[in-house]
Amino acid sequence: MSDDDSRASTSSSSSSSSNQQTEKETNTPKKKESKVSMSKNSKLLSTSAKRIQKELADITLDPPPNCSAGPKGDNIYEWRSTILGPPGSVYEGGVFFLDITFTPEYPFKPPKVTFRTRIYHCNINSQGVICLDILKDNWSPALTISK
């Protein structure tokens, strides 16, 4: 065996053992969440999804006047809403689109509601965020999207 062959063989075996070591490191199980934490998250997701689906059914059967809302696609946590400007108001004839984002903590935490259509209103900032305490600190799980 020549010196070149010997070096290639040594290099190959050290590369192989280095690859095995890297594989072992990447195959080492990562620290898993505790069962308590995972079951708590599952319960939150389950609770929020059930509540959101119930509200979707309610709003579909009995929508508020001049409003519609529902999931954007397959994600139950991301909704799009449409509000028609009320007759006799300065918003009459307007069509306003909103995004509603629920978290897994819903209904214990409020949804994030943002106007996608620019609107001038004292409770809506320039980014479309509704600035009402009921959507922040004064949120209650007794409230719903339609109320």
Q: Which contacts (CB < 8 Å, 24+ apart) does range 135-141 have?
A: 135/110, 135/111, 136/110, 139/109, 139/110, 141/107, 141/108
Question: Which of 63, 66, 147, 73 has its CA nearest to residue 113?
Answer: 147
The Cα–Cα gap between 85 and 137 comes to 28
Report the alpha-carbon angle 56-61-67, nearest 5. Answer: 75
Please tell me whether the peptide bond between 107 and the residue prior to it is cis, using omega within 30 degrees of 0: yes
Contact 132, 123 (CB under 8 A): yes
SS3 58: helix
Per the annotation, the verdict on 131 as an active-site residue is yes
Determine which one of 131, 132, 134, 141 is catalytic: 131
Instruction: Report, as residue numbers or ranges, the catalytic residues.
Output: 131
